[in-house]
């Protein structure tokens, strides 16, 4: 990090190699088109390179980088025409942790191989629905959910990325989980 801050291109290249997959996964839920996401990842690292001398080290580098990624993703979404789009569910995970915490995972503990396959399919379907519903929440709530369940960040880390107090993060996550539970309950998914 110190070498990169002094302008060492190889050191910055090492940081890019180390963090590019994490940035890619984070942006995958914001940008579904592969080409757009590739461009956005490049923009994130260009912005990081331009601003690396201003990085004070008060937060982790990954937190600072994801804050840049979030800002880039928001700008990208604002610049795109508002039109319905297909939601993708990238390789980063399927929301099972959230489902487990909501009791919606009563799909485990199978007695036969077929039940296991059926359960996995049901979990995937429910998970896809959860993430589709998350897309309907306010943008700040979406960001908090992604950072918590995709990036597995702590409340203070999320607060740092979003630039809000920790209490706000906790409230957003709580309200988001409440809203999702209501919606899923209305659909008969519990």
How large is the angle between the packed helices 61-79 and 34-51, nearest 10 degrees? Answer: 130
Q: Is 58 exposed, middle or buried (0-12, 13-18, 19+ CB in 10 A)?
A: exposed
Please check whether residues 139 and 73 belong to one and the same domain: no
- Domain count of the fold of the chain: 2
Instruction: Please write the tens of the pLDDT for every residue from 48-71.
Output: 999 988 888 788 889 999 999 999
Report residues of the chain scoring pLDDT below 50: 81-94, 103-111
Instruction: Please write the tens of the pLDDT for every residue from 23-36.
Output: 998 888 788 788 99
Domain containing residue 15? 2-79
What is the spatial distance between Cα 64 and Cα 57, in angstroms, rounded to a whole number?
9
In a domain, 90, yes or no: no
pTM: 0.62
The answer to whether 107 touches 124, Cβ cutoff 8 Å, is no
Please check whether residues 58 and 131 belong to one and the same domain: no
């Amino acid at each position: 990090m110190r070498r990169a801050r002094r302008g060492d291109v190889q050191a910055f290249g090492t940081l890019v190699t180390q963090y590019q997959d994490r940035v890619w996964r984070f942006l995958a839920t914001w940008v579904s088109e592969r080409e757009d996401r590739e461009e956005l990842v490049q923009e994130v690292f260009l912005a990081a390179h331009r601003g690396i001398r201003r990085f004070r080290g008060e937060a982790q580098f990954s937190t600072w980088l994801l804050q840049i990624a979030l800002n880039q993703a928001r700008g990208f979404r604002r610049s795109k025409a508002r039109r319905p789009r297909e939601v993708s569910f990238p390789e980063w995970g399927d929301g099972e942790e959230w489902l487990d915490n909501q009791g919606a995972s009563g799909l485990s503990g199978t007695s036969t191989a077929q039940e296991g396959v059926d359960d996995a399919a049901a979990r995937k379907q429910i998970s896809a629905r959860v993430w589709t519903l998350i897309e309907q929440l306010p943008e700040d709530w979406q960001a908090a959910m992604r950072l918590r369940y995709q990036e597995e960040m702590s409340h203070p880390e999320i607060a740092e990325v979003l630039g809000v107090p920790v209490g706000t993060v906790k409230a957003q996550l709580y309200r988001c989980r409440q809203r999702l539970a209501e919606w899923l309950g209305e659909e008969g998914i519990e």
